[in-house]
Structure 1
Amino acid sequence: MIERSHVGQRMSQIVKHNGVVYLAGQVGEGDTVAEQTRDCLKNVETLLEEAGSKVENILQAVIWLADMDDFAEMNAVWDAWVPEGHAPARACGEAKLALPKFKVEVIVIAAC
């Protein structure tokens, strides 16, 4: 069975299937990469909790940065957020994001 939450015409924010939670890409508010990263990770936490999961259960994260020069700033926030011993498989690359104001987007897959 597939469960979807926060369903829109284009995407669902949460999709659950066979004990796995898939989140849509999360972006955040703020002027800096650090602010946006903190905000989008807060969104990830909220959605995982709603789906019956948690940060410790993240299996994979894909992070898109509008500019790889922001890699260290984003990582400082990420490293403080990920619980010790629970780092997921992760990839990070540069991409043109949906709106020019966005500096970072995080996509997560987690176990329930």
Structure 2
Amino acid sequence: MSKMVRAGNLLFLAGQTSSGAPEAHTIEEQVTEALGRIDALLEHAGSSKQHLLSVTIYLKDMALFDRMNVAWQNWVDPQHLPVRCTVQATLGLPELLVEFSVTAAT
């Protein structure tokens, strides 16, 4: 499974989560870690969060939405907001609380 695919000037990132390590157990910690992974992948591809186009956020429990959203708002560039949706989903590992799917430009 690829974490990122480039098609022309578009980048597609899927399955971006925290590591699932015990030290990342709160939604805030998991969001911060996953967004850090997104930053690193975008930078590697010559892009950044200022070039986000679309983000889908998968939450294990919608009761975590407000807390996740605070962490998201602390990270995202308010001058370059992507379209975004958030859905509740069963994630691949029971310890994961959040997963991100991202489309960005280069």
TM-score normalised over the length of structure 1? 0.89
Q: How many residues align?
A: 102
5+ long unaligned stretches in structure 1:
1-10
Equivalent-residue separation in structure 2 for 1:12 and 1:24 (angstroms): 8
Structure number with the bigger relative contact order (C-alpha 8 A, sep ≥ 6) is 2
2:91 maps to a residue whose letter is L
Equivalent-residue separation in structure 1 for 2:80 and 2:68 (angstroms): 18
Equivalent-residue separation in structure 1 for 2:15 and 2:53 (angstroms): 15
- Return the index of the structure with the highest Cα Rg: 1
Equivalent-residue separation in structure 2 for 1:99 and 1:41 (angstroms): 18
Identity %: 39
In the alignment, which residue of structure 1 is the partner of 2:9?
19
Note if 1:81 corresponds to 2:58.
no
1:48 maps to a residue whose letter is L
Note the C-alpha offset of 1:99.
0.5
5+ long unaligned stretches in structure 2:
none
TM-score normalised over the length of structure 2? 0.93
Residue 53 of structure 2 aligns to a residue in which SS? strand
Runs of 4+ in 1 over 6 A off after TM superposition: none
Equivalent-residue separation in structure 2 for 1:87 and 1:69 (angstroms): 23
Note if 1:42 corresponds to 2:36.
yes
Equivalent-residue separation in structure 1 for 2:15 and 2:95 (angstroms): 15
1:4-24: CA deviation from partner (whole Å, max 9, x where unpaired): xxxxxxx11111011000112
RMSD of aligned Cα (Å): 0.7
